[in-house]
């Protein structure tokens, strides 16, 4: 899994440390929704049942493979 230095620095935060890498891969490969930002980055969301049904948002760089950010999106409405 390719990641940015930004992602690597954030993944040690207590609110992000419990996000499993396999969940991130799942969202990248099986998004329920995708949105392309004005800067070309791609937002993808998917429901993670193992995390109590929370929605995980993964931000990809325009190359569609490098992970820039990942977090549980409390404001997401399916």
pLDDT for the residue numbered 71: 96
What is the bridge-based pairing of β-strands 66-72 and 2-3? parallel
Angle at 44 between CA 75 and CA 20, to 5 degrees: 85
**Per-residue pLDDT at 54:** 97
Q: Where are the domains of the chain?
A: 2-72
Q: What are phi and psi of 39, to 5 degrees?
A: -85, 5
Write down the pLDDT at residue 35. Answer: 98
Per-residue model confidence (pLDDT) at position 12? 83
Residue 17's pLDDT is: 85
Predicted TM-score (pTM) of the model is 0.93
Going residue by residue through the chain, which has 78 residues, state the pLDDT in tens, using 9 for 90 and above. Answer: 899 999 999 888 888 889 999 999 999 999 999 999 999 999 999 999 999 999 999 999 999 999 999 999 999 988
């Amino acid at each position: 899994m390719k990641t940015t230095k930004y992602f690597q620095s954030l993944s040690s935060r207590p609110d992000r440390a419990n996000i499993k890498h396999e969940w991130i891969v799942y969202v990248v490969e099986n998004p329920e929704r995708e949105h392309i930002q004005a800067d070309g980055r791609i937002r993808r969301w998917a429901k993670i049942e193992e995390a109590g049904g929370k929605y995980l948002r993964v931000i990809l760089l325009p190359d569609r493979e490098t992970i820039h950010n990942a977090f549980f999106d409390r404001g997401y409405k399916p």
